[in-house]
């Protein structure tokens, strides 16, 4: 919960700071530009009415109040002597609204007049040839309340503060809503232990990134549970596999000490050899699981196949068809181990013959080992690569195998960027090794 609150607080503070800086910068810009722009608009509007009035008095006299012009209701005409000769209803009978008069070559004058009722922007336009003689036509507009009031900065600052506060609350509430599913995922993960990986996180129905995160977490937990289960099964199987030869070894050693029978000593030696094979395979699998890198070189896989066939004794005759120049990059000892495991597997389970081929196929080198044994059922073709897995036929024929040959071979193939799988061999067994060509 502290994690969620800290992120929530930081995001809220960041939102308030950034948004507050933008809002108050906008307030400052308004305070600096609004009075200038507003007075400029008033001057333009009053100036237009003043020029129009100056044109009118060049043609006629007013026999009544001056009519308004485009929203301008305060207008006067003042002659050379400073007497009001025409005015609108608002200024009827009142003195000139300003003493400012155009001078020199300027035909217009601007002034700001403040009366008890407020301030006005006044624009006067002279007409030396009016029907009243030389005269000045004045037009005035009252300044808006906010323009002449000190409350504008207070109003804008207060509004900005309220807006920033609302944004802060919205950020706090919105971030809390967004982080609530994340917090549920975190608390759910906190309740999961290594002893019980079967629990899962509730996936929200929002179909967004948070839902994808929850689904990914569940997939990860499923993989962890599967890995932990496979590890427990591996430890159990390894214990069972090690217990059998150790028990047999102890029995034969006891019998050998009692009877001094050479057959018992030879059987004990065979158990020791099997125990050594299991320990060696377990050590190699541990290294492969740890991802330990082995020295790699450029290897002619076809020649390596021929060397391994010539080196090891076989129960069944072997037919070899290996193309020359099939180069791969890998560790010679480990690739030889793959070939040895495949050849041993075929030699043990075949009935009369084994066929081995090595050929190039596009950017791959493909090695196939085919035996005429009983074959592997389709549903068991992946299970044979699980550790300590044996088919019934394998148990009947080969009681001394470790059950790790094919898993080790597949792990080595994958470590070299390749694959190992059971191909379609009809009624027989066909193992297919694919490695990237160098």
Look up the CATH number of the domain holding residue 146: 3.30.450
Kindly state the DSSP code that residue 58 receives in the 8-state scheme.
Answer: T
pLDDT higher than 70, residue 398: no
Picking from 287, 309, 324, the residue at the C-terminal end of a domain is: 287
**123-134 tens-digit pLDDT:** 999 998 889 999
- Give the C-alpha separation, 110 to 412, whole Å: 95
What is the pLDDT, as a whole number, of residue 290? 61
Do residues 321 and 267 both lie within one domain?
no
Eight-class DSSP state of 292: -
pLDDT per position as a tens digit, 337-361: 899 889 988 888 888 999 999 999 9
The separation between CA 159 and the C-alpha centre of its own chain, rounded to angstroms, equals: 38
Whether 329 has a pLDDT exceeding 50, the answer reads: yes
Q: Are residues 280 and 299 in the same domain?
A: no
Structure-model confidence comparison of residues 235 and 172, the more confident one: 172
Other CB atoms within a 10 A radius of the CB of residue 258 amount to 9
The mean pLDDT of 263-282, rounded to a whole number, is 69
Residue 192 located in a structural domain: no
Q: Which of 179, 189, 170, 174 is nearest to 6 (CA)?
A: 179
Residue 179 placed within a domain = no
Residue that has been written with the tokens 């699981």 in this structure: 289
**Rounded mean pLDDT of 100-109?**
81
The pLDDT of 211-218, averaged and rounded, is: 82
- Do both 126 and 39 map to the same domain? yes
Is the domain of 302 the same as that of 282? no
The average pLDDT across 92-100 equals: 89
Same domain, 332 and 417: yes
d(CA 214, CA 176): 17
Q: Helices 209-259 and 262-289 sit at what angle, rounded to 10 degrees?
A: 160
Q: Which of 234, 264, 287 is the last residue of a domain?
A: 287
H or E, element range at 206: none
Residues facing 75 on adjacent strands: 139
Weakest-pLDDT range from 140-154, 235-249, 422-436: 235-249
Same domain (yes/no): 386, 275: no
How many domains are there within the chain?
Answer: 3
* Residues 358, 429 within the same domain: yes
Residue 391 sits in which domain range? 295-436
Distance CA 348, CA 316 (A): 9
Are residue 360 and residue 280 in the same domain, yes or no? no
User: In the structure, what pLDDT confidence band is assigned to residue 391 with cuts at 50, 70 and 90?
Assistant: low
Three-state SS for 95?
Answer: coil
Per-residue pLDDT, 421? 92
Query: Of 235, 257, 287, at which residue does a domain stop?
Result: 287
Residue 243's H or E segment, with its range, is helix 209-259
Is 406 a member of any domain? yes
Asked if pLDDT for residue 164 goes beyond 70, the answer is yes
Q: What is the CATH number of the domain that holds 272?
A: 1.10.287.130
Residue 21 lies inside a defined structural domain of this protein:
yes
Looking at the domain assignment, is residue 194 inside a domain? no
d(C-alpha 49, C-alpha 46), whole Å? 5
Task: With a cut of 80, say whether residue 83 has pLDDT above it.
Answer: yes
Asked whether residue 15 is assigned to any structural domain, the reply reads yes
**How many Å apart are CA 158 and CA 201, to the nearest integer?**
46
pLDDT at res. 3 = 47
Q: Indicate if 55 and 31 belong to the same structural domain.
A: yes
* 247 and 322 assigned to the same domain: no
Same domain for 144 and 14, yes or no, is yes
Residues 23 and 130 in one domain: yes
Residue 321's CATH number: 3.30.565.10
Flag whether pLDDT at 106 surpasses 60: yes
Identify which of 156, 229, 167 has the alpha carbon closest to the alpha carbon of residue 198: 229
Mean pLDDT of the chain: 80
Q: Please indicate whether residue 118 or residue 193 has the higher confidence score (pLDDT).
A: 118
The answer to whether residue 77 scores a pLDDT higher than 90 is: yes
Q: Can you give the pTM of this predicted structure? A: 0.48
Q: What percent of the chain has pLDDT over 70?
A: 78
Residue 186 is assigned to a structural domain of this protein: no
Sign of the CA dihedral with 171 first, then 172, 178, and 179 last: positive
Q: Is 170 inside a domain boundary?
A: no
pLDDT score at 333: 87
């Amino acid at each position: 919960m502290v994690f969620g609150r800290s992120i929530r607080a930081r995001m809220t503070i960041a939102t308030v700071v950034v948004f507050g800086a933008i809002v108050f910068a906008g307030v400052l810009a308004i305070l600096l530009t609004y009075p200038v722009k507003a007075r400029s608009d008033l001057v333009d509007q009053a100036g237009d009415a003043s020029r129009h009035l100056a044109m009118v008095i060049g043609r006629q006299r007013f026999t009544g109040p001056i009519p308004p012009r485009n929203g301008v209701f305060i207008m006067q005409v003042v002659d050379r002597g400073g007497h009001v000769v025409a005015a609108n209803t608002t200024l009827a009978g009142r003195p000139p609204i300003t003493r400012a008069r155009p001078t020199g070559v300027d035909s217009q004058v601007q002034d700001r007049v403040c009366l008890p009722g407020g301030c006005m922007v006044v624009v006067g336009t002279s007409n030396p040839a009016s029907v009243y003689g030389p005269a000045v036509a004045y037009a005035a507009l009252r300044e808006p309340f906010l323009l002449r009031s000190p409350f504008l900065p207070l109003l804008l600052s207060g509004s900005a503060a309220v807006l920033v506060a609302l944004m802060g609350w919205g950020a706090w509430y919105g971030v809390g809503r967004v982080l609530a599913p994340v917090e549920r995922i975190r608390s759910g993960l906190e309740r999961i232990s290594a002893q019980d990986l079967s629990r899962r996180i509730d996936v929200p129905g929002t179909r967004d990134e948070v839902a994808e995160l929850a689904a990914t977490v569940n997939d990860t937990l499923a993989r962890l549970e599967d890995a932990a289960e496979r590890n427990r099964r591996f430890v159990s199987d390894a214990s069972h596999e090690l217990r059998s030869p150790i028990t047999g070894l102890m029995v034969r050693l006891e019998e050998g000490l009692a009877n001094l029978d050479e057959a018992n000593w030879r059987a004990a030696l065979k158990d020791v050899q099997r125990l050594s094979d299991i320990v060696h395979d377990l050590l190699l699998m541990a290294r492969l699981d740890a991802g330990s890198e082995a020295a790699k070189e450029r290897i002619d896989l076809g020649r390596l196949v021929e060397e391994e066939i010539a080196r090891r004794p076989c129960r069944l005759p072997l037919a070899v068809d290996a193309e020359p120049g099939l180069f791969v990059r890998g560790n010679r000892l480990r690739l030889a181990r793959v070939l040895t495991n495949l050849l041993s597997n075929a030699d043990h389970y075949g009935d009369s013959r084994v066929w081995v081929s090595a050929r190039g196929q596009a950017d791959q080198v493909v090695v196939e080992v085919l035996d005429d044994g009983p074959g592997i059922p389709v549903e068991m073709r992946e299970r044979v690569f699980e550790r300590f897995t044996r088919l019934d036929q394998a148990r009947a024929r080969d009681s001394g195998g470790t059950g790790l040959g094919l898993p080790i071979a597949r792990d080595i193939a994958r470590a070299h960027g390749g694959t190992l799988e059971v191909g379609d061999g009809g009624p027989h067994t066909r193992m297919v090794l694919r490695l990237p060509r160098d």
